Chains A and B, each alone.
Chain A
Amino acid sequence: MDGEFIKLTLNLLCSTVCCVIGLTVVLAAIGKSLGIRKLYTSVLLSIFEFGKSKIERYEKQRYQREPKDSESHDDSDRSDKETTKNGGDPLIQRDIAIDAYQGIRIPSNRADYDLTNLKKEFHMSDIMYFAKCGVETIIEDEVTKCFTAEELRTWNFLTRTTHGHQYVSVRLTVLWCLGCLLRYLLLPFRLVLLSIGLSWLLISTAVIGLLPDISLRRQLNRYASLICHRILCRACSAVVTYHGRENMVKNGICVANHTSPLDVIILSCDNCYSLVGQRHGGFLGLVMKLLARTADHIYFERSEVKDRFIVAKRLKEHVEDKNKLPILIFPEGTCINNTSVMMFKKGSFEVSDDIYPVAIKYDKRFGDAFWNSSKMGMVQHIFDLLTSWALVAEVWYLPPMHRNENESAVDFANRVKKEIARQGGLVDLSWDGQLKRMKVKDSWKTKTQDDFSKILKVD
């Protein structure tokens, strides 16, 4: 009798889970939503707010017990106002900065530091500009910040972002435990969705790959790809808002800022693209190979210079063929933590005079979408995503931009980058994202030296 009852319950449970998964897959495939994820994320936000107020009260109490530091107390009010637009919380106000392309800059716009139009004799105190700038950089610099996870202003109940807050009060501890339970209960469900998505990719590309290259195949491929990516998106409970879909690319080159390989999945839920990127190994490499069975993706080795010319040539041919899919390129060439946009490689801007920019901004509160490829592998990154709350992102399709007459590819690239930064609320940097892996070039010093020499009066 008892055994029968357990069997019945198990059966019931199994069929419910199957139904839910089936329903999710079907809804994903036709691109419809019941609004559950939206509700889920808004509930989460109010929980985070509650946690924030608790933690603030706790820190206030702790602060009062400590001896008061008059100086830091004065500054604490001000810091609230001076936070930057990307939600970062700077420790210092930078007065002098240098970079490889712009030379000496004065981020604080302080008149007493303004060196332009200044002409003076050398004085030994001039060394202080460099000293101050250098020590400021040691305390805080914008480049290395881009390659580490972004700091949060509100705790999101994940110990991977901030450890220790779960002990602040009993209610927070309970909430944190419940959150953990929920996220890890969701994990197997998400894994199933992930494997369904991947098997769909495996099967559909195998079947469609057999067809001759006719418009039917392209049509089928489009549907199959949309379905696949939408299922994969549900696997991390993605809530993506697309803006300006009338600007979506049909032919040509689309460029976007890069945070994680996930960018591709998010954009592919809405459109089909040919990818351009470097060859990867491991799991990511496998997926890339599967994708290449049905569409013309352009993969290359990062190290091979010869490849660059071949890639440029293939890109050109691809763009000229109106039957081919639009190309998706991440001109930064590496993943950035979604606070900034770094230098755009000029290559893609040489190929075509029309560029369709796309800005992607993730909501970091629900989980960090940044793939720190030098620190963790793809599988670890996927695991982190699947055990996060959700993936909330906004995508802006910007109006296509045309290269002006006499505009160099570099200038055009910078103009597009600026536009993406503006729309996505990201900081526009001119530094090369490759600094994640490589060292600075000695020649990058010269712009600063030039700038300094210019202010010196020489007889």
Chain B
Amino acid sequence: MTTTPVEPEALEAAFEATIARHDRIEPRDWMPDAYRRTLVRQMAQHAHSEIIGMQPEGAWIGRAPSLRRKAILLAKVQDEAGHGLYLYSACETLGVSRAELTELLLTGRQKYSSIFNYPTLSYADVGTIGWLVDGAAICNQVPLCRTSYGPYGRAMIRICKEESFHQRQGYELLMTMMRGTDAQREMVQESVNRFWWPSLMMFGPPDADSPNSARSMAWGVKRNSNDELRQKFVDMTVPQAEALGVTLPDPELRWNEERGHHDFGEPDWEELAAVIRGDGPCNAQRMAHRRAAHEDGAWVREAASAFAERAGAR
């Protein structure tokens, strides 16, 4: 079969035209190298976040207060593993291998979400993570269902369906504690106080300091700016906090009639930079745990390979 050589300009134009009509780019389409690199970075970071994200809550599985709560928590942590796998396989359609991605995480050359470098000090944190952290993740992720790269969008649709369970189980857990004793209510408030600001940081730096944002938006990889999504999250969360009976630890938080949005204080961007740099409260612990899990699982992978080889030889 003869194939006619295609001019690079024509390829680029076809790519731009697909983006312009809000159509999806699929794995075997031609795409600019920078688009591919941006996606690999974003999707890998997202996948790594799901995998590392199992740790903070996983720590409470053995200490869940009832069988019901334990079953819920197990299902949730299993979902996080599943989300990591959807995203890794979507990322691999861009020509990067699973082994490479694993290596990049384990050697710290690719990042994961800063939020997972905070500790889960009390059981209420399981609820707060579901409510605030997964709530912020949903804000970030729903627009990504319409991202321009097909496999990424499809993975996000599956993930978003499941995140809704995560958020609701967390909120329900907190509601149950708020109906309990004063000590339980204090636990919830203390937990919310610790997670509020890190949750706001999950949307990334302010737009003015987010150098890659504009290009990602032009390519349809990102659909909304960091600040837009942060505002949306604050507006969504305030009435939920009122219904729950907790306060959000921001003295500047108030409704602005003129803007039709809540005004809120500035997160500590120095803190975010430090956590991303590796100086958060749990960075070293999370990485050590992930590396140990990978190494401890090596014999299982080797045994499965050996078994498959022997079965194949028969």
Are A and B bound to each other?
A: no
Residues of A within 8 A of B (CB): none
